[in-house]
Each structure stands twice: as structure tokens, then as C-alpha cells.
A = this chain, B = another copy of it.
Amino acid sequence: MRSVGVVVNPEKVQQNPEVVVRVRQVLAALLRCGLAVRVNEDGARAVGAEELAATEQELADLSDALVVVGGDGTILRAARTGAVRGVPVLGVNVGGFGFLAEVGLDELQDAVDRLVAGRHAVEERMMLAAEVVRDGGVAERYLALNDMVLTKGGYARLMPLRVCVNGEHLATYLADGLIVSTPTGSTAYNLSAGGPILSPGVRALVITPICPHTLTARPVVVDADDVATVEVATGVEGVLLTVDGQVGCPLRGGDVVRVHRAEERARLVRLKPPSFYELLRRKFAWGER
């Protein structure tokens, strides 16, 4: 390992001054080890390390690993960035729900030491690719770790969404929207919409309608190698595609969104044996009353 990128969510710095202290210690230690260190621009400003500031592109292109200090949102974004070149991501949770983080802020230094020394494992997670097909061509491409979501803004909510799997018609949902989620994303929006939990290693996706106006619908779990397409009916406007709850693009009537397993995989740094069910129990008090 020769270069480490550090991504800091500047909002978390504001909420918790300890973040500055801890991150500055780690930056100093990394530099002492002779490593090239880059910090995202906002984060660098927030912790007073402007001299290490780099663009997101530089972080993605030049880092051998990414250390991400923030909540699940920051980690999701870094995971997408890192996935293109297969860069592993160490998630460090600061506040928030923390489903993707591996350690807390108080373990940051020790975790980075182990990362640099190579005393860590890497867990790969399936990702989703989506193409927006418009006028016969691909207008947009996206990569997601959690989910691809179609919703409708504004007052009127219901819209018909024709969903196919491998070209075969599954259903035309009249709904608020539709989620195609990875196992990783199953604890996010899919859960809110009534979907099942998918254990991280399951070779499957889940297609969950959001508030369908029918009783005859349930989340449908399909194979990881299946291709889901969602068609926005002609004339329907105001539909949005949202990627990991963060990035998005407006869709037009007639657009088809094709969602399938991405070739890229998110690579999460693991320092302890991963234990998804323990996480479920800790975060959700799973099964307890």
C-alpha cells in the first residue's frame, strides 16, 4: 500500500469536534509512514488539512484504499467511487445508523494501522448497474451499492410502472414507485417499503413496489443474474431515478430503466469476522420485544 485516500463528511465534523482530532492524528501517522495521503476537499477544509486536498476523481484514481469517516451515506458514495478501480473502503462510523461502517471513531487509528499493515480482509458486495434507455440509446448509466429507485415527485403520486424480468412481464404496478435493491440495500429503503432482509451473500435482488395501490403485490426476490426493466408509461412526467438515495436523474415518459448486477463490486475492509445477524440484532433489536 502506497497511497491512502481519506474521505471526511464535513457535517459530521461540525457535529462532533472529536472527529478533527482523530482524523488529524491519523493523517499525521499515515504521512509518517511515508504514504501518499489525499483528503476530499470539503473534508480537508473541515479538519484543517487543506494541503492534502484532492478531487474525488484523484481520490478514486490514485488511492490504494479509502478511509471514510462519516455515516452510511458517505460510505455508499465512496464505495461507488472506489468500485470502479476495485479500491477497498474502510468505513468509520460517526453518528447515525452505521450499517456499512466497520469501526467507530474511537477505533479509527487502530483500524488504519491494520489496514496499512495488510492485517485485514476484504468483503466483496454485489452492486447494481442501471441504464436509462431513451430513444433507442443509453442516455445515462449508474452504479449503486444499495438500490435503484423510481419515484414520482409532486402532488399526484400513483403512476403505472411496467416491470419485466429477463424480458418477461412481472407486473404493471400502479404505485408510488419501485425499488430494485441489492442484499446490501435490503436494510435501507426496501425495508421501509415492507421488503424482506437479504443476507449479504445471497445471489439475489429484490424488486419491491412502493405503496402499490393493490393488495395483490409483494416484494419479489429474483436471481442476481436476472435483468429487471422498468418502463415509464408514455405521457407520465415527473418520474425520478434515484441511486443509493443520493444521485438521481429525471426520467421521461417512454424511458426504460434496465437494472442488473454490475461487473464492479464494492470492496469493504473487514477487521473482524463479518456478522450480519449480530448487526441486525444490534441495530434493529431484531426479534426482541
A216 near B168 (CB under 8 angstroms)?
Answer: no
Closest chain B CB from A239 CB (angstroms): 12
Is residue A136 contacting chain B, with contact meaning CB distance below 8 A? no
Flag if B221 contacts A199 (CB, 8 Å): yes
User: Which residue of A176, A206, A240, A281 has the most chain B CB atoms within 10 A of its CB atom?
Assistant: A176
Interface residues of A, Cβ cutoff 8 Å to B: 97, 151, 153-157, 165, 168-176, 183, 186, 189, 191-199, 201-204, 206, 209-223, 226, 240, 242, 245-246, 248, 275, 277-278, 280-281, 284-289
Determine the chain B residues whose CB is within 8 A of the CB of A203 once the complex forms: 202-204, 223
How many copies of this chain sit in the oligomeric assembly?
4
B289 touches A213 (CB 8 A): yes
Nearest CB of B to A52, in Å:
30
Q: Which residues of B contact A286 (CB under 8 A)?
A: 170-171, 216-217
The 5 A-B residue pairs with the shortest CB-CB distance, nearest first, are: A171-B287, A192-B211, A153-B153, A214-B289, A196-B219
Q: How far is the CA of A285 from the CA of B220 in the complex (A)?
A: 15
A277 contacts which of B170, B176, B194 (Cβ < 8 Å)? B170
18 A-B interface contacts by CB (under 8 A): A165-B199, A168-B275, A170-B277, A175-B192, A189-B213, A191-B218, A192-B212, A196-B221, A198-B221, A202-B221, A203-B204, A204-B204, A204-B221, A206-B221, A215-B216, A215-B218, A215-B284, A220-B280
